[in-house]
Structure 1
Amino acid sequence: MLKFFTSNKHTPRWIVLTIDLAASVMSIVFAFLLRFNFDLTNEYFDRIWQIIILVFVTRLIVFLLTHSYAGIIRFTGTKDAIRIILVITYTNAIYIAINYSSFFFAHQKYIIPFSVILIDYFVSIFLLTGFRLFVKTVYYEANNLFKEEKRVVILGINEDAVTTKRVLTRDPKIKYKVEAFIDPYGTGKKKQLDGIKFYKLSELESVFKKSDIYELILSDKSISTLQKQKVIDLCFEYDVNVLTLPDAKDWINGELTYRQIRKINIEDLLEREPIKLDEKQIKKDILNKTILVTGAAGSIGSEIVFQLTRFQPKMIIVLDQAESPLYNLELELKEKYGFHNYEIIIGDVTNPVRMQKVFETFKPDTIYHAAAYKHVPMMENNPSEALRVNISGTKIIADTALAFNAAKFVMISTDKAVNPTNVMGASKRIAEIYIQTLQQQNKTAFVTTRFGNVLGSNGSVIPRFTQQIEEGGPVTVTHPEITRYFMNIPEACQLVLQAGALGKGGEIFIFDMGKSFKIVNLAKKMIQLSGLKLGTDINLKFTGLRPGEKLYEELLADKENTLPTVHKKIMIAKTRQYPADEVIAQTEQLISVLKNHDNFEIVGLMKQIIPEFISKNSVYETLDK
């Protein structure tokens, strides 16, 4: 008997159909007995078999037409219950129609009393859904008898927490026991939720000590970032796995399944308080405008494109030289965002003829310039490419925007432009200076946004660590003291849009990057999240600073300070002004040597333009002597 309930084979449909028909017959008989106080009159006693046959045939036809018996019973859910209710409604409506036909066109009598039809309606629903739920419950309980119990704590006392608990108890593969709910708001009273005790957040450690907890699931999305980080650190200390729920909008068909409960990732650990945008101001800046995004297939560019769709631009010109990523971006715009007011342009920002044609054709109002080379070691070995793309490419786009009287030009820069120690940072700083100089011509508003490392972007440290962990290590870090500021991609792009809307021209906006993180600690946490133990399952290796790499990044230069804006996370860097003629002449001279591909000549001229550019861990240190 137990083997029958624990089998993974599906119950044959004919058996389910037979049971449903038997339940229907039982229901109509019970309805008659209940209606007449278990004392049938002779009139109905003589006709009960005719009525049973009528019910049997009617239900059989409707069951066959609707396939109400076709579902897998152990997965019975809300939709199955609704289907049963509809089927019973159809059949009982047929009884009513037969009653009226009999009364008006035959015997002037009702075949089945209306009160019996009403009782049968509710009894049938109860029996058919009850049978399914009974089998489902027995199946899960029987399957859980011989499984190892895994104890779980759920952080939250909201509806999502209760839903999570019920999803866990229904999981067919693992026997979960929800040990406790944790109240993140600390009522101080030990109450029960869905039959399970809940405790204050301050009591979480005592729950860990008292019980061998396997997992903690974060079900309450409203808890503060600080609370979440403290909980995760405590879980690491007690070797408890941490999971989180997807957003409710991402639940499949509005229902949560166990497969959707995912492991927490490193972005969750570095998460900061959500940014509050002035969406009215951003929409005013973008609504019905033609927007050009360069480098649109990259991590930052693509996210800017996606976020722009919310603000109803007239057209987004999506420009990049990478064919396949552009194709993927186009699919996502159509399928995920349902956005169609765009034009895909394959082109290189360093091609002035191509860029001229783009501006002639579309006449963009606003340009978000995200096209750039960003990898420090790669640019240290290839200064001519940093000059060609980051400086010359920016100059071409900025000059063309000015020539076509674009309203605004927003450049994406980096914290590596501050007191640069590498070619990449220096190239971005020269680009910043050049577009600030163009602002003096007062036609187009030239704005710069400067921020740090972006989590999960192409080539960033997070995907690299993930790959190394999957391959069994070692996880490589350049230096035990190296630190970086981090933002996630959506956060960075939100601030770019907000700064773009705030900019009047000439500003370098810097973002509140929060605290900097030690990269070695980041690596250790990622190893913990993967379920491995450092030194036992996987090793950590220090490889030495790469060419041009700093230990610490800065958002402001020594001679810069900031002015506040209306947005608390965005500030304006007060920078020195450069003579326009001098900057333009130096930039053109620098670009003119590109044809020689002489790395030392290029870097030497960069250092003349930016005296604070002091190379570190680089062959170009000889130029600083």
Structure 2
Amino acid sequence: MRYLRTLGLIILDIILINFSYLLGLVLRFDGKTPEIYLNSYFKYAIYITLLQIVIFYFFGLYKTMWRYASIEEFLKVIGAVVFASVATAIVFITLIDREIPRSIYVMALLFETVLISGVRLFSRARDVFLSKGFKNGKKPTSQIKRTLIVGAGEAGVLALKELRKHKEIASIPVAFIDDAPEKKNKIIKGIPVVGTRHDIPKVVKDYKIDEILVAMPSIPEVQQKEILEIANKTKIKTKIIPGYYKVIEEDKFDLNLIREVEIEDLLGRDEIKLDDNSLSEFIENKVILVTGAGGSIGSELCRQIIKYNPKQLVMLDFYENNIYDIQNEIKRTYEDPQIVVLIENIREMERMEYVFDKYKPNVVFHAAAHKHVPLMEDSPVSAIKNNIFGTLNLLKCSDRFGIDKFVNISTDKAVNPTSIMGCTKRVCEIMVQTMNEKSKTDFVAVRFGNVLGSNGSVIPLFKNQIKEGGPVTVTHPDIIRYFMTITEACQLVMQAGAIAKGGEIFILDMGEPVKILDLAEKLIELSGFVPYEDIKIEFTGLRPGEKLYEELLLNKENSCKTEFEKIFIEKPYVHDTEILNKGLEKLEKDIHNNNKLELVNDLKYIVPNFTPDI
């Protein structure tokens, strides 16, 4: 189809070139052109035509899609016509035929400029006409979307070209937004830059925008968040080119890069800067064991670790379905990855000893844990068996088999715990630091808050509730949480492990806390609904063991920065080993009684600041 259009345009240019010269001859002699001049022209018409078509070709007049052409392309047409006409005149006047009056070449130049550029302008004008909402005097179907592109830089221009190229998308760019003052009121590829981010609401109204595309992938995430929040308030569908595409080359740009705005984009968190050298030294050619490898954190750790070429990645989980999925994903992504998948239970010491003895890991990332607060309130025995004694098995094996580093994944719920789950994770932190005091292995813990999109987290819950038409349930209007993306959390966990010296509790900078109610409202808006009108929000009350506010640090005076701006350290603390051991003995004895009150008291013995609901 493209070649037929090009051929058609060439044929049309041939007709217009000859028509221009013949019209010049007719007008020059008032309609009574002497036969000698007509014969002279027809004798060389084919050469005149061929010369000009070749020049047009080298000027690129048959490569441009004229319905999307900008001012630059039309200036190129004029330049090509002028050059071709002057070249024709010089060749024929000086070398071939001096009989044709010189004025004919000037007149032909004027006619060609009007006709050849006019034909191309027609396609462009028709497209603009349709983009403004008219077709045969009537508004077009609602399928055509008037698009506002935020960002008139390289990414925005490339997105513009792609949207124009793919008519099936029915997205017609009509305006740019850009904060650069030098770009305001400029025309880029035929599209005006009409204001800054603060003008988005007005532009949406004035230009009858149906869709917003944020094409500023290289700006800081905090600024991107501001832009998305402004766009979100317009209630207009917003899409984005994700921030991890920092450099977009024209021959690699793909419309598939453009995606819907997710709630993660509204967190406004800057890109993580990792030390690849320290991570390579930490992981490359090492045997890495990841427990809970099928879970949200564990599976993402596996994705990140495999990039650094471990000698072997041992993926361990008790639940087979999820770990089967991540195993297949890695095999599809990498050629002959050195991975081993084990279905084992960390509660069973004998099996853990077998795993450590056979695979001899250098580093352990321990991400296997029961994490749901309300469920663990109802199943305290399972929480203690898995989170405390399962972890203790791994700590003992790591010490006995002489691994280099053990990295325990902790949680903000371990700080001044109010739930059984949180308290079990605090006990794990104490065990990690205590074991570090007497072992050659470096034992550390990494503590962070909620992970967006993880299994069972609030985001998937809200999305399902919205999909069902509501209501969206929030426990309390004032409840706040710290949030981090899965990828971000896992990258920081690995970096913390790389710089660990032993005994530290690393705290990841979670940014500003987020109100769960605000999160619910934004998710409803991103789904194209109006909160409280289209989708109701109901408050259900705090669940057992749930805090209104989460904390990340036990003692702010006892924390310090690291070389990485998002990683802090709670300085090593020497715990009372006798209290810990006695408390663990009591727990091991009382878990057989299945008495929640006894277990809570045992936990309080180890963690005195544990304040349960009961």
Q: TM-score, normalised by structure 2?
A: 0.76
Q: Name the SS of the counterpart of 1:596 in structure 2.
A: coil
Q: Distance in 2 between matches of 1:245 and 1:437?
A: 47
Question: Does structure 2 conserve the Cα–Cα contact (< 8 Å) formed by 1:364 and 1:406?
Answer: yes
For residue 458 of structure 2, the aligned residue among 446, 458, 461 is 461
Q: For each residue in 1:401-425, what CA deviation from the matched residue of structure 2 results, as whole angstroms up to 9, or x when unmatched?
A: 1000111100000000000000000
Match of 1:187 in 2: 182
Residue 163 of structure 1 aligns with which residue?
158
What letter matches 1:538 in structure 2? I
1:557 counterpart SS class: coil
SS in 1 for 2:591: helix
**Aligned counterparts of 2:154 and 2:8: Cα–Cα separation in 1:** 37
| Aligned residues of 1:391 and 1:427 also touching (Cα < 8 A) | yes
Please tell me whether the aligned partners of residues 563 and 572 of structure 1 are also in contact (alpha carbons under 8 angstroms): yes
Is this contact kept in 1: 2:178–2:184, CA < 8 A?
A: no
| Equivalent residues in 2 for 1:133-148, closer than 5 Å | 145=135, 146-148=140-142
User: What SS class does the counterpart of residue 187 from structure 1 fall into?
Assistant: helix
C-alpha distance 273-585 of structure 1, shift in aligned 2 (>3 A) = same
More divergent stretch after superposition (471-480 vs 246-255): 246-255
What SS class does the counterpart of residue 181 from structure 1 fall into? strand
Match of 1:127 in 2: none
Specify the code of the residue in structure 1 equivalent to 2:173. Answer: V
Instruction: Give the corresponding residue for 2:443.
Output: 446
Once the two structures are TM-superposed, the CA of residue 158 in structure 1 deviates from its matched residue by 2.4
Query: Does 2:330 correspond to 1:333?
Result: yes
User: In the alignment, is residue 153 of structure 1 matched against residue 148 of structure 2?
Assistant: yes
> Who is 2:380 aligned against?
383
In 2, Cα distance between equivalents of 1:615 and 1:575 = 26
User: In 2 relative to 1, CA 240–19 (structure 1 residues): closer, same or farther, beyond 3 Å?
Assistant: closer
Q: 1:225–1:272: 8 Å Cα contact kept in structure 2?
A: yes
**Cα drift, residue 270 of structure 1:** 1.1
- The equivalent position to 1:256 in structure 2, one of 254, 257, 261, is 254
CA distance in structure 1 between the aligned counterparts of 2:9 and 2:272, rounded to whole angstroms: 60
Q: CA deviation at 1:590?
A: 1.2
Offset, 1:271: 3.6
Corresponding residue to 1:200 among 181, 187, 196: 196
C-alpha separation in 1, matches of 2:6 and 2:511: 63
Q: Give the counterpart letter for 2:362 in structure 1.
A: D
Rounded Cα–Cα distance in structure 2 between residues aligned with 1:21 and 1:150:
30
Cα deviation per residue 1:217-250 (whole Å; 9 max; x = unaligned)? 0111012223222222222332222111256599
Q: Show the counterpart of 1:411.
A: 408
The separation in 1 between residues aligned to 2:586 and 2:334, in whole angstroms, is 45
Alignment partner of 1:221 is 2:217: yes
Between the aligned residues of both structures, percent identity stands at 41
* Aligned equivalent of 1:279: 276
Gap change, CA 1:498 and 1:212, over 3 Å in 2: same
Pairing 1:611-622 to 2, within 5 Å after superposition: 611-616=608-613, 621=614
* Counterpart in the other structure of 1:230: 226
Task: Rate the CA distance shift 1:271–1:334 in 2: closer, same or farther, 3 A.
Answer: farther
1:178 — aligned with what? 173
Q: What residue in structure 1 maps to residue 303 of structure 2?
A: 306
- For residues 385 and 391 of structure 2, the distance between their equivalents in structure 1, rounded to whole angstroms, comes to 9
Gaps of 5+ in 2: 18-39, 47-64, 66-119
Residues 512/174 of structure 1: CA separation in 2 closer, same or farther (3 Å cut): closer
* In the alignment, structure 1 residue 533 sits paired with structure 2 residue 527: no
Q: Offset of 1:174 from its aligned partner? A: 6.2
Displacement after TM superposition at 1:553 (Å): 0.3
Find 2:596's aligned residue among 596, 599, 605: 599
Q: Deviations over 1:549-596 (max 9, x none)?
A: 000000112586202212121111136421324322322331232222
Q: What SS does the corresponding residue of 1:311 show, helix, strand or coil?
A: coil
Which deviates more, 321-330 or 408-417? 321-330
Do the aligned partners of residues 306 and 252 (structure 1) sit closer, same or farther apart at CA in structure 2, a change above 3 Å counting?
A: farther
State the alpha-carbon separation in 2 of the partners of residues 177 and 281 from structure 1.
Answer: 47
> After TM superposition, what 4+ stretches of structure 1 lie above 6 angstroms from structure 2?
16-24, 37-41, 136-144, 249-253
Q: Quote the offset at 1:607 in angstroms.
A: 1.0
- Deviations along 1:59-114, one digit per CA (max 9) or x if unpaired, are xxxxxxxxxxxxxx9xxxxxxxxxxxxxxxxxxxxxxxxxxxxxxxxxxxxxxxxx
Distance (Å, rounded) in 2 between the aligned partners of 1:396 and 1:151: 61
Residues 481-523 of structure 1: CA deviation (Å, up to 9, x unaligned): 0000000001100110111011111110111111100000000
Name the SS for the 1:361 alignment partner: helix
Contact 2:279 2:308 (8 Å CA) reproduced: yes
Stretches of structure 1 that go unaligned for 5 or more consecutive residues are 1-10, 31-36, 45-72, 74-132
Does structure 1 residue 429 correspond to structure 2 residue 423? Answer: no
Counterpart selection for 1:498 from 492, 495, 503:
495
Q: Structure 1 pair 191/20, CA: closer, same or farther in 2 (3 Å)? A: closer
Q: Compare 139-148 and 223-232 and name the one that shifted more.
A: 139-148
C-alpha displacement of 1:137: 9.2
Change (3 A) 1:183 1:289: same
Distance apart, 1:458 and its partner CA: 0.4
Alignment of 1:313-352 (within 5 A): 313-338=310-335, 340-352=337-349
Change (3 A) 1:434 1:250: farther
Q: CA RMSD for the aligned pairs?
A: 3.6
**Structure 1 residues 300 and 17: alpha-carbon distance in aligned structure 2, compared to 1, 3 A threshold:** same
Inter-CA distance 211–343: structure 2 relative to 1 (3 Å threshold)? same
Distance 1:38 1:301 in 2: 80
C-alpha distance in structure 2 between counterparts of 1:294 and 1:455, whole Å:
20
Taking the aligned partners of 2:494 and 2:9, their CA distance within structure 1 comes to 65
Amino acid at match of 1:166: K
**Aligned residue number for residue 58 of structure 1:** none
Aligned 8 A contact 2:399 2:439 in 1: no
The amino acid of 1:425's aligned partner reads: G
C-alpha change, 1:425 and 1:441, in structure 2 (3 Å) is same
For residue 485 of structure 2, what is the aligned residue in structure 1?
488
Q: Which of 569, 574, 585 is the equivalent residue of 1:588?
A: 585
Q: CA deviation at 1:260?
A: 5.5
Corresponding position of 2:95: none
Provide closer, same or farther for how the CA distance between residues 167 and 147 of structure 1 changes in structure 2, counting only shifts above 3 A. Answer: farther
Partner in structure 1 of residue 355 of structure 2: 358
User: 1:272, 1:183 → 2: CA distance?
Assistant: 21
> Conserved in 2, the CA contact under 8 Å of 1:356 and 1:400?
yes
Contact 2:480 2:513 in 1 (8 A): yes
Distance apart, 1:340 and its partner CA = 0.9
Give yes or no for contact 1:485–1:553 (8 Å, CA) kept in 2: yes
Give yes or no for contact 1:452–1:513 (8 Å, CA) kept in 2: yes
CA distance in 1, matches of 2:205, 2:4: 51
